[in-house]
Amino acid sequence: MRKDFLSVERLSQTFPDGAGGTLTVFENASFGIKKGEFVCILGHSGCGKSTIMNVLAGLAEPTSGVVKMDGMAVSGPSLDRGVVFQNYSLLPWLSALKNVTFGVKARYRDWSREKVVAHATKYLAMVGLEGDVIHRKPSQLSGGMRQRVSIARAFANQPKLLLLDEPFGALDALTRGTIQEELLKVWSQTEQTVFMITHDIDEAILLADRILLMTNGPFARVAESVEITLPRPRERTEIINHPNYYAIRNHLVQFLGKRSKELAGQRSGGESQSPETVRIDMTTTTTDPEPAPTPTLLKAVNT
Ligand SMILES: Nc1ncnc2c1ncn2[C@@H]1O[C@H](COP(=O)(O)OP(=O)(O)OP(=O)(O)O)[C@@H](O)[C@H]1O
Ligand SMILES: [Mg+2]
């Protein structure tokens, strides 16, 4: 078994609740991510997804616990971790190209100007931005184009870990679909490790190797790690015909609709809380003369 590239160990976060008490968002949360994995996290609003991501990014300190990347504790922001926020956060006075070259120059200080521009242009092309459009400022771009620039910027810096907080939340369904495909293309070409927050179940199934499911807060838990047993490359119009698709989707809908509430508020009792691994595979066939698909729902506790 491959060693975890990112390991989250007994992470707890409390905040003042505004009424003189404390709010425990999550307690003793533990999980790992392998190198090159694409992991999505799903959970109801307010359960603590962004809080976890800010800690992974090094933008916030947890109340207790540690995050290790490549065996080293994460402390403070780093160019090794790229973040894409929902609101794009591009520099408004710079063109699309310069928004990308800005970070590349900081990361690769010994590169020539030509090399930096060629590198940035390549990543912009990967997300479908080519020609004159890359010389426009963010205010002259559509929302979808701006989001493409922020994805190109994050990937161009070649961070070891890419953190995406609902990056497509503000986009219409068509643009969202196109950019999801571009994200998959860039990810498959770069083999970067991705941790992405989303509210969209279908988006998570299309993109992820694994989906982490969080219970409602307070005392939220990453309760399950659901393997997405769908072959790659994935096409949105084709994966829906795979026997595993609706089985996985139903499991996720059930969790978010029901079990996330039932499991809410359970204290950790001081124990490290690791998610249960859930593997749903409806393609396993028996050796009967008339082979029938046998659904297997395999649940194993992560060790
Ligand atoms: N700096 C802070 N001070 C106090 N409370 C906070 C702070 N940041 C977050 N919280 C609280 O922690 C909880 C988790 O917030 P968080 O933003 O992580 O949720 P989320 O899962 O990302 O939700 P959403 O899906 O709506 O983005 C919420 O109850 C929120 O009010
Ligand atoms: Mg959030």
User: Is any atom of ligand 1 closer than 6 Å to the C-beta of 50?
Assistant: yes
Q: How far is CA 218 from CA 44, 63, 97, in A?
A: 11, 15, 42
pLDDT level of residue 303 (50, 70, 90 thresholds): very low
Residue 295 predicted with pLDDT over 80: no
pLDDT exceeds cutoff 70 at 298? no
- Read off the pLDDT of residues 97-127 as tens digits, 9 standing for 90 and up: 999 999 999 999 999 999 999 999 999 998 8
Ligand nearest to the CA of 45: 1
Is the model's pTM score more than 0.95? Answer: no
With 0-12 / 13-18 / 19 or more C-beta atoms within 10 angstroms meaning exposed / middle / buried, residue 150 is buried
pLDDT tens for each residue of 41-72? 999 999 999 999 999 999 999 999 999 999 99
Looking from the CA of residue 13, the nearest atom of ligand 1 is 12
The secondary structure of residue 38, as a DSSP letter, is: E
Q: What is the pLDDT of residues 123-166, one digit of tens each?
A: 999 888 999 999 999 999 998 899 889 989 988 988 999 999 99
Closest of 181, 195, 178 to residue 83, by C-alpha: 195
Indicate whether residue 51 lines ligand 1 (CB < 6 A): yes
| Cα–Cα distance for residue pair 116/100, rounded to 1 Å | 9
What are the structural domains, with CATH classification, of the chain? 6-80+160-301 (3.40.50.300), 89-158 (no CATH)
For 97, the 3-state DSSP assignment is helix
Cα gap 50→262, rounded to integer Å: 22
% pLDDT > 90, the chain: 71
What would the mean pLDDT of 17-41 be, rounded to a whole number?
94
Residue type, 242: H
